[in-house]
Structure formats: structure tokens, C-alpha cells
Amino acid sequence: WWLGALAWLGVLSTAGVALFPFLLPSSSVPAQSLTVWNASSSRLTLTWMLGFAAVFVPLILWYTSWAFYVMRGKVSADAVEADEHAY
């Protein structure tokens, strides 16, 4: 499995390196190709998004791990039958 994943990673990396810096090369007018530089947002937007990501990604990871912790363990048939909210 790992070798298959590594092979796909190599194929995708090769394609990415071969196209850099062009994201969407234009076949009719090469000067109007979409590059990494003209496709990116402004510096202010990137700064704001970095701040939001720095706050909310750990928050989402914490909430997800907490939800898995709360829902841990097996559910028995007796517990489901005893619950008045079960269908």
C-alpha cells in the first residue's frame, strides 16, 4: 500500500514541478496563462486567512477529538433499548 501511495505522490509531484509556475497554461495565448503569482490573493487577504487558520484549525481539531472521546466505546443493545429517545 505504501509503495502505491508513494508512486502516486511521485506522479503528482512530477506533474506539479513540470507545470510550475503555470497553474493553467493557455494554449492560444501563452502570455495570458494563469500562474501562481497572478492567481494568488493580496497580501492582506493571505495574512487574514493565516490568522483565521491559526485560530480555527486547532479549534476544529480539538472539537473533533473531543467528540470522538465522548462517543468512545461500544454501544450495547441494552443501552439502546433503555434509551427513551431511541427509535
Residue 56 confidence (pLDDT) above 80:
yes
> Looking at 18-22, 25-29, 53-57, 59-63, which range is the least confident one?
18-22
DSSP H or E segment with residue 51: helix 43-70
Per-residue confidence at 11, pLDDT binned at 50, 70, 90? very high
**How many Å is the Cα radius of gyration of the chain?**
24
Per-residue confidence at 6, pLDDT binned at 50, 70, 90? very high
Q: How many other β-carbons are positioned within 10 Å of the β-carbon of residue 20?
A: 10
**Residue 35 CB partners (closer than 8 Å, separation 6+):** 21, 22, 23
Task: Give the start-to-end residue ranges of the domains of the chain.
Answer: 1-40, 41-87
Q: pLDDT, tens digit, for every residue of 39-48?
A: 889 999 999 9
pLDDT at residue 39 in the model: 80
